[in-house]
Amino acid sequence: MKTLQISVITVLAVLILFSYHVTFAQNVSSSSNQMPPGAIKTPNGGWITPLQTTENGKNLTIHYETGIPVQGNYLPPGPPPIIHMDIKANSEVYQKGDLITISGKEDNYLIQKYGNDLTLSIDNSRTRERWCCDNFQSSQEGTFYYSFKMPDIFQSQDNYNLRVSPNNSTDQYGVGVLYYAVLPNPLVQLRLGISTLDVECRVNFIHLIKSEDQSPACVRQEASDELVKRGWAQSVMVPSKRAPHIVKPLNPINLSPCETRYEGKPTSTSTVYPNGTVITTGYVPVLYMPQNSTGMICVNYTNVNQQATAQIRIFEANNLSRQADIQYYASPDNISKGNSTVVYTISTGNQRGFYGISFFCGGMPFAVGYDNQSRIITDDFPWIGQVFHCPSMTYTYKISGLHGVGIYYIKTVSHEQLSYDIQNTTITSYSMGTNSHNATFSLHIRTFDKPARFWFDYKDSTATKFVKNPGFKFGSDACNWDVTDNSQMQNTPWLRIDGIHVKENSVSIPANSNGTYTFSILAENLSDGYYGLSPVVYGATTDVSSDDAGTNYIAYNFPLVTGIGNTKILDFSGTCLR
């Protein structure tokens, strides 16, 4: 038996050049008739060993037996496997006691076949020990976040596989992590294949980048400022991707790592005082975090357009164009089409001050180094109350929850002196035949220290025409209506009120008096169809010009039907509160 040394390059070249290839073992030697271990017996009684790599991994060794022909086909590789679930861990390396967070998304194939129930198992790459199981769910869209501690049976330093599989399925999708009793130093982590930005530091140490060679360093928090001042390290702190603040979701349906629900406080308005004063109490929410802490903001998105990049901007409160030296990352890093949740992890480092967080345009107040016992006022955020001119937004968003981030409410109180008060509006609507309809609105008004006059606004009042029955639905009161199908609105929906006859007489009401202003809308020359009326009335005290008069929206999508079916179904009377 002889050994033929063939270089890997040569073998690969042959495999690439010939998709179909026949090989024969030539009659070279008959020095041995004993079949070696691992050999394959041929039909003619001979044997052949498979291709084997030598110890240095650079060459391939082919063993063959005298006079026994062996032939076979080299087939081209098949298509790559279809991956139905993406999964990743928030870090590549952990130490004992860390909470590990996995996140990912399963596709519609898995959801439709197995549902949203998932199972987590863990095994040791070296010892093959296996732990099972922990159960959780993905969202209806297939995304999931799940946090846990390493089971007690896995406390040794090793490589571990975190595997997720749909319930009742043998499919498994996994990610590997390194686990240590104590995290190794940055250079050891680099040798393990961990990138510079993914190196992790022990508790109370800060991850900095050395200025001279861009290598990672873990330094004590109290020494980090001095090292940056000396130029030994760059000023930007690399945030940890490990999640010491993440806990298992309290609500298993929510699946978000943010266990604190984000809720704003509602604005309240007092009754109108006898002198016309109204007191409005509001609350400006301020997000706050301690220094050298990590927190999370969970944001729900609805995106009917193509995938967009998930990003926020953190800026200095006194300079909206200046980026704050505060790090964050998004998981996932894109806003997918449909409904999705993005978790923004923010690391404050040693910063302290007032900032703003912008999720699209404008900004939300953000305080670092403060807490709920601090004194925070609106003047700390000079842009509050400013008007921002924003581009068209291709998606909508809402903060759903927080973790490691608190909410401080700045109380605001404003006093407004009313010129008049529209206390309520009564409406009477009735059909006058198949092709005509009448709606009469009466505004009951109270004036204060000055007389006031009222008249119908022909310019801003509008009527919406619907292509077919939009399904009018009674809204908050008799004046304001909803429609069940806005898509049936005509392509050029807003029709000026000129197509409808308005009967009204402007009225002046003396100071400190009660009065009524009435107008009627008569539709009799409109084309057959469904309309939604949105009338507007102007009001002003006698010392205010008509151009500066106040705009009063009396109704929205008030239904009017002409020439179609039984129009009397919308005949009614009611009162609308202001």
Neighbours of 30 (CB within 10 A): 10
Angle, alpha carbons 482-300-406 (nearest 5°): 115
Burial of 425 (0-12, 13-18, 19+ CB in 10 A): buried
- Name 232's Cβ contacts closer than 8 Å, sequence gap at least 6: 210, 211
pLDDT value of residue 506: 92
List residues bridging with 48 in a β-sheet: 40, 64
Give CA–CA dist 224/495, Å, rounded: 66
List residues bridging with 398 in a β-sheet: 300
Query: What is the dihedral angle through the alpha carbons of 138, 139, 143, 149, rounded to the nearest 10 degrees?
Result: -40
Yes or no: say if 361 and 393 are a contact pair by the CB < 8 Å rule: yes
HEC secondary structure over 124-192: ECCCCCEEEEEEEECCCCCEEEEEEECCCCCCCCEEEEEEEEECCCCCCEEEEEEEECCCCCHHHHHHC
Collect the ranges in the chain with pLDDT lower than 50. 1-32, 52-70, 74, 243-255
- Name 111's Cβ contacts closer than 8 Å, sequence gap at least 6: 138, 142
List residues bridging with 366 in a β-sheet: 287, 355
pLDDT value of residue 65: 43
Domains and CATH numbers, the chain: 3-63 (no CATH), 82-200+240-255 (2.60.40.1930), 265-415 (no CATH), 420-577 (2.70.50)
- H or E segment to which residue 302 belongs: strand 294-303
- Name 348's Cβ contacts closer than 8 Å, sequence gap at least 6: 289, 290, 291, 292, 293, 294, 295, 326, 368, 369
pLDDT value of residue 474: 77
Give CA–CA dist 128/27, Å, rounded: 45
pLDDT value of residue 80: 61
Yes or no: say if 160 and 179 are a contact pair by the CB < 8 Å rule: yes
